[in-house]
Chain A
Amino acid sequence: MKKRARIDVKALPGTAANAADERLQVARPLRAVFNKVFPDHWSFLLGEIALFSFIVLLLTGVFLTLYFDPSMSHVTYNGSYLPLRGVHMTRAYETTLHISFDVRGGLIMRQMHHWAALLFMASIVIHMFRIFFTGAFRKPRELNWVIGVTLFIVGFLAGFTGYSLPDDGLSGTGLRIAHAIMLSIPVIGSWTANSLFSGEFPGPGAILPRAYIAHVLLIPGILLALISVHLGLVFKQKHTQWPGPGRTNTNVVGERMFPRYVIKQGGFFAIVFGVIALMGGLLTINPIWLFGPYEAAAVSAASQPDWYVMFLDGSTRLMPPWEIRAFGHTLPPLFWPTVVLPGVMFTLAMAYPFIEARRNRDTAIHNLLQRPRDVPERTALGAMAVAFYLVLTISGGNDPLAENFDISLNAMTWAGRIGLLIVPPIAYWAAYRICLGLQQHDREVLAHGVETGIIRRLPNGQFVEVHQPLAAPDAHGHTELEYTGWVVPKKMNRVGALAPAIKGFFYPVEEPAPPALPQAERRELESSGTR
């Protein structure tokens, strides 16, 4: 009998790699991927939070589909949650209760899914701020900016269809408002609403199954496709970087993708996943069993949608009662704050890169980021947009605010109406002034040096503060440096002249820090540094 050939375990990776390369010729492209350089900065990781939340959403979402049934047929609850026993409800609500109470680990999965959705939208917004305020959307990345804004809109739809599904008191009210919004569209409104709901609200049981298939197939498919293109473009166009030593518009300075960059990403994914698990386990969200099944005649005060929908709720509340009626037709006031306003907001956001480029007659390629202070106009516009959005969002929650702080609800509404007009311009002005102030201070430090905190008394009795210039004096004795678009050191320990600032929470502050520089260099600094 022939002896079986023994498998050489040590040679296995080599053989496998060889086999793959023989068939796919991957050696060169793989090495290029390994060697791809990524710049490093904490703010570049904000988009990753959205990506990782999306992965958690897919995982937990698949679990939920195994138990959820979007049917609107009527049943009588007979599960283990006593207060609702015997109550008539839809299958959708019943199965959501079932997931929360009668599926092992179902509640944590539901709550992780919801928290991950909130985190997904939040990190998209924060990531968008980073891109906007640092000018990362400029040529050649305009397309990716447009895709990013689209991701927010599609994510919004994903969230809305998602929280409409359980058919509890809150989600039914949300759907009813969505129905009213569709009705308000001129000419095609009633046809659109009636077609989507397959009848008058809430219709013969069509809307939830339709929202469901959109939520679990169509929208995630679109999100997945858009995210793939988004990341593919970042990969192809290479990441932007901050200005700094050795960094130019035509290079990328950082770490190669393998091993450090990928390892850090992996660790970050585990942490994001872990934080979502902690939130899902420890923090109750959307306790649908307290809201009861949806009934058209019931609603509770202070019913708030998820945070990313609140700006629409706010705009709807602030809208004055202006209805247009002519030629036997009605244009309801609901149309302006819920259809026109978001349309204008998202169109402006998408068009911004092109507007700015046109305004500045800028056709150059930009790979270096700008500090927000260096582009006061854009920063101020951004602050204005954020202020506008914030006023709307706060107005979306003005009823709990009015109740908790004992303010008249009508006063809150008026404050929102007036605030929507005057807060954004104030934000513009304040941001603009702050940018200019910061710029000026940078130039001051570059010209005169860092404040040392040392006061010197002159022979005539005058007191002056000693400054540490950042450069050695030139032939004329000037120490002025040019601004390079990057952080200017403003503390002595930033330039290495003093010991590094004492760090740490648990160590006593008194513990002396070791000197950072050898004695000789320190003496040199002291002798040259005064002025």
Chain B
Amino acid sequence: MTVVDNPHGSPGLATAEERSRFETIVAGAREDGVEIVHYEPPFPAPGTRGERRLQRIVAGCFLTTGGLATAFLVTYIWWPWEYDRDSLLHNMYTPVLGLTLGLALVATGFGIMIWGKKLIPHEVSIQERHDGPSSDHDRSMATSTLLYMGDEMGLKRRPLLGLSLLAGVAPVGLAAAAPLIGGLIKDPHKPVEGGTGSPLMTTAWGPGIRLTREDGTPIRPEDISTGGQLTVFPGVPEGHTNVHADSPTLLIHLRGQDMAELRDNLTGTNVGATWGDFVAYSKICTHAGCPASLFEQQTNRLLCPCHQSQFLVTDNAKPVFGPATRRLPMLHISVDDEGYFVATSDYKVAIGPGFWERP
């Protein structure tokens, strides 16, 4: 078969020496099961105008890379990079880095691509696949070797060895796994220090604990206007931090008729939880634990922005839309002698997302 199938007649390999070198390549490929069936230099003769033009383009790409990479270095070192919000120069630092580095790399890529696609002979090679199973001979040899190995071990004749090995290895495996997993395991229902009951069921609230703002200051009823709401935290050390991520609560000052509606609707443990026109709900969504923080005054709905569960404030924060299934728990509140809001107990039910042990 003709190895070089070139429409121009000449394979572009002018001299006998070049041809014989190519034949070596072809012979080598054939030994690897590869047949080069079409091999066509991109230009009929070396040094044509088209070739020189492509050479210049590729060289141009690489020189562009060099220029841009240098620009990247210069920018990186000398550009005013320290943060200064009002400085346009500073704000351009990252974009200029990206532009110079990115374009430098893209230019290299194009240079290499054009080189590979346009300046190197185009070829079609065919390689045979050797799919499917090994030869019967190989398979039977391998199988007998394996079986013989088994016989040499003599597990069949000496069953005690097998059993004792198994009995020995299994505990070693478990012993290796135990510290890896065992160190992690922590009982979710063990009370934390100073706490009572499962941490999943309790929060930092309790009788007499003041409702405070994020900065720790207590709140008087007149601090919240009608229709207003405020996120409150337990007045305990670190009460507003993530240490008590289960305790954030929403204190809402309802309008008179809304409060009357809510008072009519109060059920179960919620009876007696409100104070005046004020009601306090857990802010932690009973669906996935995001803060249900968007209060829509007109419809008296609380919306959790994560999965859009909606809770009706005037009806025990009952879920009215979205994936949540349980009400937001209500915190029992009152006002102490000094006129500040306090909780009269912890939440009566577990706050936050549901879990298996939750009754």
Contact = CB atoms under 8 A, between A and B. Distances in A.
Nearest to A272: B109
Nearest to A250: B129
Contact of B291 (A107, A254, A297): A297
A175 to B, nearest CB: 10
Nearest to B246: A200
Given A190-B356, A413-B322, A316 B246 contact: no
A74 B240 CA distance: 13
A413 B291 CA distance: 20
Given A202-B242, A274-B109, A303-B305, A281 B126 contact: no
Interface in A289-311: 294-303
B306 A303 contact: yes
A259 B288 contact: no
Contacts of B192: 199-200
A275 B294 contact: no
Given A140-B131, A254-B125, A278 B99 contact: yes
A520 to B, nearest CB: 17
Contacts of A495: none
Interface residues of B, number: 92
Contacts of B83: 80-81, 101-102
B103 interface: yes
Interface stretch (B26-34, B216-224, B262-270, B331-339): B26-34
Interface string A176-203: 1101110111111111011110111110
B25 to A, nearest CB: 9
A313 B287 CA distance: 13
Interface in B1-57: 28-29, 31-32, 34, 36-37
A193 B108 contact: no
Contacts of B141: none
Interface stretch (A121-129, A147-155, A261-269, A375-383): A261-269
Interface in A121-172: 140, 172
Contacts of B122: 260
Interface of A: 31-32, 35-37, 74, 80-82, 88, 101-102, 104-105, 107-108, 111, 140, 172-173, 176-177, 179-181, 183-191, 193-196, 198-202, 237-238, 246, 249-256, 259-260, 263-264, 266-282, 294-303, 313, 316-323, 328-334, 337, 365, 367, 398-399, 409-410, 413
B293 A274 contact: no
Contacts of B358: 329-330
A105 B94 CA distance: 7
24 contacts: A37-B127, A81-B83, A102-B82, A107-B94, A108-B98, A177-B306, A184-B353, A195-B185, A196-B184, A200-B200, A246-B37, A251-B127, A252-B127, A256-B29, A263-B112, A264-B116, A267-B115, A269-B109, A273-B109, A274-B103, A274-B105, A299-B290, A321-B319, A333-B287
Interface string B197-241: 001100000000000000000000000000000010100000011
Nearest to A173: B290
A260 B115 CA distance: 9
B325 A322 contact: yes
A270 to B, nearest CB: 3
Contacts of A269: 109
Contacts of A399: 305, 308
B117 A334 contact: no
A426 B96 CA distance: 47
Nearest to A110: B94
Contacts of B124: 246, 253-255
A490 to B, nearest CB: 25
Contact of B126 (A202, A246, A274, A322): A246
Contact of A108 (B97, B319, B355): B97
Nearest to A29: B32
Contacts of B188: 190-191, 193-194, 200
B305 A278 contact: no
Given A107-B94, A183-B354, A31 B359 contact: no
B120 interface: yes
B199 A200 contact: yes
B98 A190 contact: no
Contacts of A313: 306-307
Contact of B308 (A36, A37, A267, A413): A413
Nearest to A261: B116
Nearest to A318: B323
A35 B29 contact: yes
Q: Sorted from nearest, which 4 A-B pairs have the closest CB atoms?
A: A281-B98, A274-B105, A263-B116, A278-B102
Contacts of A318: 323
Contact of B28 (A35, A37, A268, A282): A35
B161 interface: no
A302 B308 CA distance: 10
A271 B113 CA distance: 10
B329 interface: no
Nearest to A328: B359
Given A259-B116, A410-B321, A199 B126 contact: no
B102 A281 contact: yes
Given A37-B34, A259-B120, A330-B354, A267 B109 contact: yes
A323 B358 CA distance: 12
Contacts of B115: 263, 267
Contacts of B275: none
A232 B101 CA distance: 32
Contact of B128 (A104, A183, A251, A263): A251
B5 to A, nearest CB: 12
Contact of B323 (A246, A319, A330, A409): A319
Given A260-B120, A334-B288, A35 B34 contact: yes
A274 B353 contact: no
A400 B261 CA distance: 33
B123 A176 contact: no
A331 B356 contact: yes
Contacts of A322: 325
A51 to B, nearest CB: 15
A320 B287 CA distance: 12
Contacts of A105: 76, 81, 97
